[in-house]
Structure 1
């Protein structure tokens, strides 16, 4: 009787140890995914701090290694970039114009790390301001973008701006990196005008390859794209309805390209 009891107790103990091991492994996996999620969010937050300060060249090491398959960036309808060089060129040579201020603040993140721990997906909303001074002659090309008054003998552009971001991340050598990056401009409006009326006359802007306004407010255009966009996105218009794009990521086992 005692031998039978002892054998049963040992069997129960072995089963309990197995259950505890499973629980520990599950807890470790959950903790790692939480750590990964935090690192992904910090990566994009660092990106935005650097971008707001015109320190974009510091963003280049935050991208995947040169030669990584599947790298992609897309900012407008003018095309998308699919090589490491063309993607990182977006961050090179940006000036620090006197009087220019951009303040992009991101919020409402939805981030999902794949169960295999190799990739992650995230979407964000962004609300911000963009502003600067432009030579009056340069401003003649885009009259609707500027305020009526001048400051220091220059035209003022001061805009509210709203965007959406959809980003895929890849873990390389234990660190999370940008892999596929997409920005959707949702709406913008000069300080003196509402976004409804401005949205009606700004529909063509997203088809242009304007990258930013540089020294003296001169427009700087995107480098030639590697390929056309597979589908177009247009900012808010009072003549269209809103749609869920990008679709926030959900829990998943392995990478699926949902932001193309």
Structure 2
């Protein structure tokens, strides 16, 4: 075999080695992206079924630097125990329905075992409230009439999610979580007229409606919200928030 042939073979092997490394990198990114999307979808399936205790293991480990959760303008949670408090002790009230369907994901995976994703959610939320309990809430939150002697709340709801993920011990985990409520409306009313009435709601620390429709509030926030987000109003313009993540190598805190 001549030196020329050996040189050609060597060049081909080097080229194939580079190509194989690139293919492995692309395959790894695709696998990671799929695992991240499955993780968030699993979160939503569990949340819809009131199985939030099973969501706790989906979060990063206790002591992970930079953990964060934020749901309203009332503040954000940066301590592990206050973060998982959102998922502890949730009841499964009779007649209550949550159906949040997420869509339009944009997911980017970094080279540093982190990932970023945004989603849009469209869904329904409904339940029954004891009339005495309902007196503590505005009447426009409820539908006309009673079911089984209780007031009915049945809402369309739209949200956006911005979530950062981190890989720990070979598994992807939720690291930083933010929910932006975009709009909601009772079944009988459009979201434009209701949006004007409901601007104050995102400043409250409401966590969920429990048994008999009783409001359950979040624990005190660990720190103030850096800035405020408000749901749709007929007097405001829409903005690109959160911005879909761009491809990246090293994590930047873009959803803060």
> The TM-score by the shorter chain falls in which range?
over 0.9
Tell me the equivalent position of 2:128.
133
The one of 37, 57, 63 equivalent to 1:41 is 37
Is the contact made by 1:169 and 1:176 (CA closer than 8 Å) also made in structure 2? yes
Question: 2:229 aligned with 1:233, yes or no?
Answer: yes
Tell me the equivalent position of 1:20.
16
Tell me the equivalent position of 1:98.
94
**What's the CA shift string for 1:85-140, capped at 9, x where partnerless?**
111111000001010001000000000001x1510000000000000000111111
Tell me the equivalent position of 2:155.
159
Alignment of 1:166-177 (within 5 A): 166-177=162-173
Shift of 1:213: 0.3
Is the contact made by 1:33 and 1:117 (CA closer than 8 Å) also made in structure 2? no
Counterparts of 2:87 and 2:8, CA distance in 1: 61
Is the contact made by 2:118 and 2:163 (CA closer than 8 Å) also made in structure 1? yes
Is the contact made by 2:112 and 2:251 (CA closer than 8 Å) also made in structure 1? no
TM-score relative to the length of structure 2: 0.98
Tell me the equivalent position of 2:193.
197
Counterparts of 1:192 and 1:150, CA distance in 2: 15
Shift of 1:10: 1.0
SS at match of 1:246: coil
Shift of 1:13: 1.1
SS at match of 1:216: helix
Specify every segment of 5 or more residues in structure 1 that has no aligned partner in the other structure, as ranges.
none
Tell me the equivalent position of 1:222.
218
TM-score relative to the length of structure 1: 0.97
Counterparts of 1:118 and 1:133, CA distance in 2: 44
- Tell me the C-alpha RMSD between the 2 structures: 0.8
Counterparts of 2:51 and 2:254, CA distance in 1: 30
The one of 133, 139, 144 equivalent to 2:140 is 144
Tell me the equivalent position of 1:206.
202
Counterparts of 1:131 and 1:117, CA distance in 2: 41
Question: Which of 1 and 2 has greater Rg?
Answer: 1
Tell me the equivalent position of 1:123.
118
Is the contact made by 2:208 and 2:217 (CA closer than 8 Å) also made in structure 1? yes
Alignment: residue pair count: 255
Shift of 1:11: 1.2
**What's the CA shift string for 1:11-64, capped at 9, x where partnerless?**
111111001000000000100110000000000101001000000000000000
Tell me the equivalent position of 2:72.
76
SS at match of 1:144: helix
Counterparts of 1:230 and 1:15, CA distance in 2: 55
Q: Which runs of 4+ in 1 moved over 6 A?
A: none
Is the contact made by 1:56 and 1:92 (CA closer than 8 Å) also made in structure 2? yes
